[in-house]
Amino acid sequence: MAVKNILAACAAALALTGCGTISKILPEAGPGTLAPIGKVSRADIAKSGQPVMKLTVPSRGIETFLTIRDRRGDVVNWMAADGTLFSFRNDVLIETRGLGADLMSSAAPSAGQILSGQAHRRAYFYVDDDDQTGRRDYQCQMSRTGSESLVIYGRAYTASKLAETCERDVGRITNHYWVEGGRIRKSQEWVSPGIGRVEFERVID
């Protein structure tokens, strides 16, 4: 969807308050193209005055920004300019809306469980290729894979990398987390069979 069409949709969806913030970050693009977010400077992003996260969905060729739409208790809803929504509980992805093959809900560990290395269970409820809801249950183990230097939108960080390996009778998935200063700075988290893993990078806190 062209950025002009995205912004028009945002204007019509008054409840989606994050649209105005995103429109200040993304530059105008030509008809039928997405804004080249790589040409937006960190200083320009910071002008939004709000936390900003970069989203990458490799299976869909999506690369864009997210800003906070709202908070409900310990759940924070982050939104893209087209209304696609990502819900996090304690910094861990629990739901998506707008991707098609969405993660409808999940039983996920807290960031504290991930950081402590505790074993845990996960349950994913997702939309499959037949537009039906599927479920997968996993037993998960955490492992620390060492320290890494990250560069996120021009700023360097030193983070500890953790891998969450989740297994069931048939198959496994692995989520990755980069922890800096006690918080998740970057993550690669599984959504559904149709989407695979998506990547989140915190650009502006």
pLDDT of 151 reads 95
Cα 75 from Cα 87, distance rounded (Å)? 7
Rounded average pLDDT over 156-182: 95
Pairing of strands 103-107, 92-97: unpaired
Is the pLDDT reported for residue 123 higher than 90? yes
Average pLDDT of span 63-79: 94
| Domain residue spans of the chain | 3-204
* pLDDT of the residue at 15: 36
Specify the residue for token string 């936390």.
Answer: 51
Amino acid at 13: A
Taking residues 111-119, report their average pLDDT. 90
Q: Residues of the chain with pLDDT > 70: what percent?
A: 82
Residue 32 has pLDDT above 60, yes or no: no
Asked whether the whole model's pTM tops 0.75, one would answer yes
3-204 folds as YmcC-like fold (2.40.360)
Q: For the residues 49-73, what does the mean pLDDT come to?
A: 93
124-130 long-range CB contacts below 8 Å, 24 or more apart?
124/190, 124/192, 126/101, 126/102, 126/191, 126/192, 126/193, 126/194, 127/100, 127/101, 127/102, 127/192, 127/194, 128/101, 128/192, 128/193, 128/194, 129/101, 129/193, 129/194
Instruction: Give residue 107's pLDDT.
Output: 96
pLDDT tier at 82, thresholds 50, 70, 90: confident
